[in-house]
Amino acid sequence: MIYRQQAMDWAVDFVNRINADPSKYLIYKTSRPVANIKHLMVTSTDLYPGNPAFKMKFPGDKAYTTITYRQALDDINALGTALNAHGLKGKRVAIVGENCYYWCLSYLTVVGGVGVVVPLDKELAKEDLIGLAKKAEVSCVIASKKYVGLFNEMKAAGEGCLECVVGMYTEPGEGSGELSLKGLMEEGRAMIAGGDHSYIDCEINEEEMSILLFTSGTTGLSKGVMLSHKNIVSDLMSAPNMLEVLPTDTFFNVLPLHHTYACTCDFLEPLYKGACIGFCEGLKYIQKNLQELQPTLFLGVPAIFEALYKTINKTIRKQGKDKTVAKVLKINRVTKKIGIDLVPKFLGKITGVFGGRMRTIIAGGAPMDPVITNFFCDLGFRGVQGYGLTECSPMAALNPDIRELANPAAAGRILPNFDAKIINPGEDGIGEICIKGEHVMLGYYQMPEQTAEVLQDGWYHTGDLGYIDKDRFIFITGRMKNVIITANGKNVYPEELEYKLSLSPYVSESMVWSEDDEVGHNKNIVATIIPEAEEVAAVLGEDADDPDKVLALLQKEVDALNDKEPLFKKINKVVLRTEPFVKNTSAKIKRFATENKKLN
């Protein structure tokens, strides 16, 4: 058994409720009921046994290797059988390392019948990795080469509950003290051949914690988000009703898999739909790997797409073709309505950068500028933006991938079978966004008080501020903890001003914050800005190295913005910054870090 009948009945009812919804936003009624992640993988293998599930370059390889669904499931069963034989049944297993097939194999194996999987952020400092492994009470760590030694030291020192370390790329018999992933799979295959089906036939409890995800931050500040199979599969069954995913698709994986956005949307979702995950070798290989994999869907954070947008437009301007491209795109918006697409003929070199088969570009993790979304849509791609939180597994809202039904200014539309509401709205209708549904977490690990603060009567209080329109689109204005309250009680949302500053070609990044005025009676709104060096140089020439001249240029941009804003939103001070902002491992600026407010 890989599911309980009770769970299967729930999954069937979940899908039936989606398909019964008359909403025009339910475009694709193709969801199949799955009771848990193990059931997902088994049924996908039954449906698509020879389809490529993963494509990656193993160390030393120049070409991509394809792993089919059947091969992947065989590997999962072998590894799971061996891990349980080594005494890990029902225990916590951490995974740390680069995105790769072995990372995904380890995750699917652990949740499929071993115990609780604990994905760790490979960018954390040594002491934080050890601290989180201890906090999560992990008994085993599956790690890539860079991290094997660290956890072997932890095991030798007797720290925490760590019993064994498994090397992802260690050859059987190699290494100092750790087990080998390949060796374990060999053990498991032999056991299965001998009649051991204990792992293959094990039953999953969909309601209990099976995934423990830590939010970004140091050991002392990280919250452990407890998720169940039911949390995850409810998201997986809901999202494809607004986003087309086909068994012939290839997802371009570049985001870190320990993060719930990439894990659910860029790994588990394609497996649910019979699609393929193609691994990018790293940020500097994006263009090369796009040509090699020829993917159809590309999930990223806005920063990735903003960089591609700027690179494309910079190239167009250097070639003196900016007016021509703008004209073609403008005409094409009309001709496409009668079935004539001018982009392949006139702008094929631009779209070819994405490999030639790209259909959908999906942004998450932060708001994306609608100008950029519309640009990619004009090129013929489907530009999609979503909204999610780790506590919601993570998807809470998603824009439909049909342009006419989407709203690029919105974070997304509430997913089918889930709900959202605004509490404590102000005069402007903006209040805290609350989410409800089967995708909402079980709670925070060993933090009952913090759990009680955010989970109330089934509603998850997100801490995000915004509003919901009549079509159930969610609009985000900022975070409650970031809001600046002026002396007259007005709310200023730093994220809103940062977005408007980002529209300036001379602004690379910005952080809006507040400081008390000289008498301490009011808040001065301050913008710390990192300039866009190339654009500034194009205007200032030799003076681009003069901080005073650069600051004056940025001040003009701020003055222009202030002219459009009410008095309480005006930026009172500009701070020039040349060093990168201090960020967390999710690449988000640490807004309250003192060093981010300094001039440097």
Which residues does residue 526 pair with via DSSP β-bridges, in sequence order?
513, 573
Quote the CA–CA distance of 72 and 45 in Å, as a whole number: 9
Average pLDDT over residues 5-13: 94
pLDDT exceeds cutoff 90 at 260: yes
| pLDDT tens, position by position, 366-378 | 888 888 999 999 9
Whose CA is closest to 234, among 34, 368, 28, 410?
A: 34
**Integer angstrom CA distances of residue 532 from 48, 501, 529:** 47, 12, 9
288-297, 412-421, 548-557, 585-594: least confidently modelled range: 585-594
pLDDT exceeds cutoff 80 at 521: no
pLDDT exceeds cutoff 60 at 220: no
pLDDT exceeds cutoff 60 at 217: no
Q: Express as a percent the part of the chain with pLDDT over 90.
A: 71
Whose CA is closest to 200, among 76, 72, 102, 103?
A: 76
| pLDDT tens, position by position, 44-64 | 999 999 999 999 999 999 999
Question: Per-residue confidence at 219, pLDDT binned at 50, 70, 90?
Answer: very low
| pLDDT tens, position by position, 197-212 | 999 999 999 999 999 9
Average pLDDT over residues 255-275: 96
Average pLDDT over residues 463-492: 87
**Integer angstrom CA distances of residue 311 from 276, 315, 350, 351, 592:** 28, 6, 11, 13, 31
Question: Per-residue confidence at 166, pLDDT binned at 50, 70, 90?
Answer: very high
Q: How many other β-carbons are positioned within 10 Å of the β-carbon of residue 26?
A: 17
Is pTM beyond 0.85? Reply is yes
Give pLDDT, residue 519: 52
Average pLDDT over residues 83-91: 98
**Secondary structure in 3-state letters for 386-441:** EEECHHHCCEEEECCCCHHHCCCCCCEEECCCCEEEEECCCCCCCEEEEEECCCCC
Non-local (6+) Cβ contacts of 412 within 8 A are 385, 386, 387, 396, 397, 398, 399, 473, 474
Give pLDDT, residue 566: 84
What are the structural domains, with CATH classification, of the chain?
5-24+34-227 (3.40.50.12780), 297-356+358-480 (3.40.50.12780), 483-597 (3.30.300.30)
209-213, 218-222, 364-368: least confidently modelled range: 218-222
Give pLDDT, residue 269: 98
pLDDT exceeds cutoff 70 at 567: yes
What is the DSSP annotation of 465-483? EEEE-TT-EEEEEEEGGGP
| pLDDT tens, position by position, 381-434 | 999 999 999 999 999 999 999 999 999 899 999 999 999 999 999 888 999 999
Q: Which residue has the higher pLDDT, 306 or 221?
A: 306
Question: Per-residue confidence at 491, pLDDT binned at 50, 70, 90?
Answer: confident
Question: Per-residue confidence at 172, pLDDT binned at 50, 70, 90?
Answer: confident
Question: Per-residue confidence at 218, pLDDT binned at 50, 70, 90?
Answer: very low
pLDDT exceeds cutoff 60 at 156: yes
111-115, 382-386, 492-496, 532-536: least confidently modelled range: 492-496
Quote the CA–CA distance of 269 and 260 in Å, as a whole number: 12
Non-local (6+) Cβ contacts of 424 within 8 A are 431, 432
Q: Express as a percent the part of the chain with pLDDT over 70.
A: 95
Q: Which residue has the higher pLDDT, 522 or 491?
A: 491
The two beta strands, 491-492 and 507-516, are unpaired
Exposed e or buried b per residue across 81-97, where buried means at least 16 C-beta atoms within 10 angstroms of its C-beta: bbbbbbebeebbbbbbb
**Integer angstrom CA distances of residue 268 from 112, 134, 249, 276, 453:** 13, 27, 14, 10, 30
Whose CA is closest to 305, among 245, 252, 243, 247?
A: 252
Q: How many other β-carbons are positioned within 10 Å of the β-carbon of residue 77?
A: 23
Average pLDDT over residues 170-190: 87
**Secondary structure in 3-state letters for 179-247:** EEHHHHHHHHHHHHHCCCCCCCCCCCCCCCEEEEEECCCCCCCCCEEEEEHHHHHHHHHHHHHCCCCCC
Cβ-contact 98, 79 below 8 angstroms: no
